[in-house]
Amino acid sequence: MGEYFAHETAVIDEGCLIGQGTKIWHFSHVMPGAEIGENCNIGQNVVISPGVKLGRQCKVQNNVSIYEGVTCDEDVFLGPSMVFTNVTNPRSAVNRRGEYSRTHVGRGASIGANATIVCGHDIGEFAFIGAGAVVTKTVPAYALVLGNPARQMGWMSEYGEKLEFDAEGLATCPGSGEKYRLEEGKVRKI
């Protein structure tokens, strides 16, 4: 556990790990058993539950609850008020604590404001989930998904730009100039 900043109103429980250079802002709560990597930014009114793991340089915007069963690789962006679930059939009177489904968010993925990720569906690396989307199935790496239910509407570069593939399955990111290949429904940087 390195040196980190926590606003005086944040609640940091014993038994969590917080990486060097991380900032935790107003009214946020990091629970025991949570692990936060180096140089993360945890916005206002965020809850990070036991067992949650965030990689290095994650940005969690205001009003996000990250429930047990969620893991995020490095460089993940979680937009304002986006939601993870961890039970598919919740009932107030039924304890499902041992039945949490897992959700993994791959490196560099972005999840837009007010999006909902239904548990048990992984988000591939560098995927881009549009604002307000409701994700009800696994999202491939580099995919752009929008809507309710979320549907794939294209592909995104690591730089966050929409990719347009030619007849040979090649695309160039308009922002970075990096090149990508689309083969058999999968994108990779070349």
Segment 18-47, tens digit of pLDDT: 999 999 999 999 999 999 999 999 999 999
Residue 2 predicted with pLDDT over 80: no
Residue 48 lies in a domain: yes
Residue 148: the pLDDT is 97
Domain membership flag for residue 31: yes
Average pLDDT (171-177) is 97
Assign 96 a pLDDT band (cuts: 50, 70, 90): confident
Residue 189 falls inside a structural domain? no
- The answer to whether position 26 is within a domain reads yes
Inside any domain, residue 182: no
Assigned domain for 133 exists = yes
Q: What percent of the chain has pLDDT over 90?
A: 91
Does residue 29 fall inside a structural domain? yes
Average pLDDT for 79-105: 91
What local confidence, expressed as pLDDT, does residue 85 receive?
A: 93
CATH number, domain at 64? 2.160.10.10
How many distinct structural domains can be found in the chain?
1
pLDDT at 64 over 80: yes
Tokens representing 130 are 């549009």
pLDDT at 97: 81
pLDDT above 80 (res 126)? yes
- Residue-number span of the structural domain to which 83 is assigned: 5-89+99-162
Does 25 reside within a domain?
Answer: yes
Q: Which long-range contacts (CB under 8 A, 24 or more apart) does 137-144 make?
A: 140/185, 140/186, 140/187, 141/106, 141/186, 141/187, 142/180, 142/187, 143/187
